[in-house]
Chains A and B, each alone.
Chain A
């Protein structure tokens, strides 16, 4: 089971159009909502006139902040992860209070018979605004005299923190060489093809609110709803149906979730809100900008002595998750290399834009880009092979497990980084490339090759929940707080459990993302589900297996060690006719009034586990990109992409490949295409897929994937996460390749995305 490429449990329904996504949830008497959103980057609200909209036939309610307040114990979404670095608490209100601070901020909700009428109504809500100065760029936001993002705020510095260890200044003082980079790194949005959505239903008989939401974290959403609505856990259920891609922003809890739920309570009818793509561009969280000034000190052998620098991070207008994103970026820089001293100062700046929260990769691509750009410069200036510089600095396998010292102490649990790099280079033909490059140049083609290493913590703790139960029907049921968002989480858990309980996937049902199914849960984020939910499911399945065999031993009058579970029954090894069904085993401990249970057995055939694992399992890998640059137009084509990675033991190698390929595509988008643009007044300028470019099939090379499997000692399955890993090294590898292609011009790449116009400009400047 584990390690085999079984058919995904998810595919049959999805291929037939029988999936159940949030917009497929249809309830009797359901109404439809549309939001009235701010058209301004920053404005004061002087008044809201609802009468005209409310009078429109088919409109059932027009709700603004004052209409929701009587139903709210707390009108702000308090979701920020704890950090001592905050200088301001800026949590989002459900609906704007008296000021809007980004385009797209919700101000009112209109509920009508259908979405068309709801949007008609939204257009009739008249809001009087006093526009205020807005700030779009995070560096400009921190400049003296900058407009403040929030009227009442003292400044635009949301948080500031230092990360580091050792004496970086002393390291620089004794260095043979010091090199520096000034980088602009931009990542756009997640752009799952399914946008967000919520369907809320209030059951007055049971006084229970049910919210079907496209959230990656249903238990957290339930907790938020309980807190804000003043309800207890028995009165709120959150269900995550099929999700059409997550990629980060769906882990965030949103104002629309609360407003939709309240509309259902106020109106006493189910209410559906489905985000459209236009809203997704202005209301779903994004990543966007980081500005880096960073320098590296090396000795005369190109061994790293220290790294130091500063990061300015675009936070957007509110705290929707915390400062974990820039924290990840800073922590990533020295992670896989032997860096004796490190000092990074991070300033997190407010801007009048959609809040920033993690998108697949969560700051790790930016940290990787920074260190890999620096190492490329070391190689170039010291006339060394780029791969050789890395070889000299990678943490060697004999030092594993290795106590790294990025932000907080981090344990690198396993892996052979130099071997991984060597395999990627061999597969990509790294050493032959200069000859190919020279040959191409003779015919006027500019080819380049680039590489990047990465290391990423996966499987964020502290736990995930799993219940494994064999019911009186003989079926194996798995319930978990993990949330499936398209990666095959159900298949993965079914494999892990079936490994212990009969090896028949057809006899396993997996329920994810339902707070009524299991009490505790965290959900999908941080490449954590196989590591955390997989480990808990494994431990629970082993316990159920042991009990199953013990009960069957009594029923069959055999020794437990002579039994095996095959399909839906337990049998005596070598005597296939001596068997008892899992249904009979389950019934034996399901209890019959007045009759004793089998000797020594507790009731029920189930186990619940929340295995606690605090240390993260660190996956690693090496990417090599080969590109061609058209020096006249600045167009970049990625011709080849090799990804060698190590996520420990693989539960389903095909699904792992899928994660790497998908992450690579996302990274190529970040490297070359995806830009969420705003003008100086903080008006978004890329709000369609014609302006904001996602990678399509014609831009993608076939990703050549290879695996190394260094089992993690941190969990019983030996697994590491992979969901985010593919994306992490891509911008760094592509930038390295583009720079290599343009080496005759001496062009330096210091940004992502790398736009064609920028390449043309750099070449022109270099030619002057």
Chain B
């Protein structure tokens, strides 16, 4: 049946070596063998953005990547955002304070998309934020709280979080 390969991947700073089926998606690898269920699957065809992660600092859809393609790369997921068990990342704080989430299912993808965006665009306009998250679907919020959270987070992060 399915072929396997040995891969070595760093996720949130921790190195994992695993043997995986070559057809296993990166999302299923993260959620299954690694138990990192914070990354969510909403469409599995690359539109909804819930599975967005960072690969070597660049956002990617983990439903459209195979685990074997992550071999030798550094992955960041939502579980790695908060600096400690007590503290949240400024973006997470801003989501909490601006009602940027309701059911929370799209949230991990929104956070990872915005972490990259705010890193590269520390002082965005509302319109730029809307374009930045236009590849992430949310059915709960009308995006209102998410946009507010992103702008708030940008301010917090400019001040050093």
A, B: real partners: yes
CB distance from B48 to the nearest CB of A (A): 6
CB within 8 A of A193: which of B23, B35, B111, B137? Answer: B137
Name which of A10, A23, A192, A696 has the most chain B CB atoms within 10 A of its CB.
A696
Q: Contact: A657 with B99, CB < 8 Å?
A: yes
Using A697-B147, A702-B144 as known contacts, say yes or no to A23 and B41 having CB atoms under 8 A apart: yes
Known: A17-B79, A487-B102. A689 touches B43 (CB 8 A): yes
**Which residues, 226 to 277 on A, are CB-close (under 8 Å) to B?**
242-245, 247, 276-277
Alpha-carbon distance A191/B92, docked complex (angstroms):
25
Residue from B95, B102, B107, B142 whose CB has the most chain A CB atoms within 10 Å: B142
Annotate A482-512 by CB proximity to B: 1 below 8 A, 0 otherwise: 0001111000000000000000000000000
What is the CB-to-nearest-CB distance from A722 to chain B, in angstroms, rounded to a whole number? Answer: 13
User: Are the C-beta atoms of B105 and A17 separated by less than 8 Å?
Assistant: no
User: What B residues does A7 contact at CB under 8 A?
Assistant: 96
**Would you call B60 an interface residue if the criterion is a C-beta within 8 Å of the partner chain's C-beta atoms?**
no
Closest-by-CB residue of B relative to A18 is: B38
Residues on the A chain within 8 Å of B92, using CB: 15-16
* Chain B CB within 8 A of A142 CB: no
Distance between A88 CB and nearest chain B CB, rounded to angstroms: 34
Q: Is the CB of B139 within 8 A of A191?
A: yes
CB distance from B83 to the nearest CB of A (A): 11
Main secondary structure of the interface of B (DSSP, over half): loop
Chain B interface residue bracket vs A = 35 or more
Query: Once bound together, how far apart are the Cα atoms of A700 and B134, in whole Å?
Result: 10
Query: In the complex, what residues of A have CB within 8 A of residue B141's CB?
Result: 658, 661-662, 665
**Could you tell me if A276 and B24 are in contact, using CB atoms closer than 8 angstroms?**
no
List CB contacts (< 8 Å) of B106-148 with chain A.
106-108, 111, 126, 129-131, 133-147
CB-based contact A15/B96 at 8 Å: yes
Assess A193 versus B50: contact at CB under 8 Å? Given A19-B104, A486-B104.
Answer: yes
**A690 closest partner in B (C-beta):** B47
Contacts of B143 in A (CB 8 A): 665, 696-697, 700
Known interface pairs A116-B23, A245-B139, A698-B131. Does A688 touch B47 (Cβ–Cβ under 8 Å)?
yes
Inter-chain contact A486/B106, CB cutoff 8 Å: no
Give the chain A neighbours of B78 by CB distance below 8 A: 16-17
Q: Of all chain A residues, which has the CB nearest B96? A: A11
Query: Contact at B103–A192, with CB atoms within 8 Å?
Result: yes
Bitwise, A692-711 to B at CB < 8 A (1) or not (0) is: 00111110101100000000
Determine if A244 and B144 form an interchain contact, defined as CB atoms under 8 angstroms apart: no
* Other-chain residue from A14, A654, A703 in contact with B104 (beta carbon distance below 8 A): A14
Indicate if the CB atoms of A661 and B145 lie closer than 8 Å: yes
The answer to whether A194 touches B105 (Cβ under 8 A) is: yes
A461 within 8 A of B: no
Kindly report which residue of chain A lies nearest to residue B131, judged by CB atoms: A698
* CB 8 Å contact bits of A163-207 with B (1 = contact, 0 = none): 000000000000000000000000000111111000000000000
- CB distance B95 to A15 under 8 Å? yes
Q: Are B42 and A694 in contact (CB under 8 A)?
A: no
- The answer to whether B144 and A192 have CB atoms under 8 Å apart is no
Query: Are the CB atoms of A654 and B139 closer together than 8 Å?
Result: no
Is B64 an interface position by the 8 A CB rule? no
- Is B95's CB under 8 angstroms from A658's CB? no
A594-B39 Cα distance, complex, nearest whole Å: 54
Known contacts: A17-B37, A21-B105. The answer to whether A116 contacts B77 by CB under 8 A is no
Q: Find out whether the CB atom of A15 lies under 8 angstroms from the CB atom of B145.
A: no
B61 within 8 A of A: no
In A389-414, the 8 Å CB interface with B consists of: none
Given known contacts A11-B95, A18-B38, A19-B104, A688 and B45 CB-to-CB distance under 8 angstroms: yes
- Is A301 an interface position by the 8 A CB rule? no
Q: Are B142 and A661 in contact (CB under 8 A)?
A: yes
CB atoms of B139 and A10 under 8 A apart: no
Q: Would you mind naming 28 contact pairs between A and B with Cβ atoms under 8 Å apart?
A: A11-B101, A14-B101, A14-B107, A15-B111, A16-B38, A26-B35, A57-B1, A115-B28, A116-B23, A192-B103, A192-B105, A193-B103, A194-B40, A244-B40, A245-B139, A276-B44, A654-B99, A658-B99, A658-B144, A661-B142, A666-B142, A688-B45, A689-B43, A690-B47, A696-B133, A697-B131, A697-B134, A703-B142
Residues of B within 8 A of A (CB): 1-2, 21, 23-24, 28, 31, 35-45, 47-48, 50, 77-79, 81-82, 88, 92, 95-96, 99, 101-108, 111, 126, 129-131, 133-147
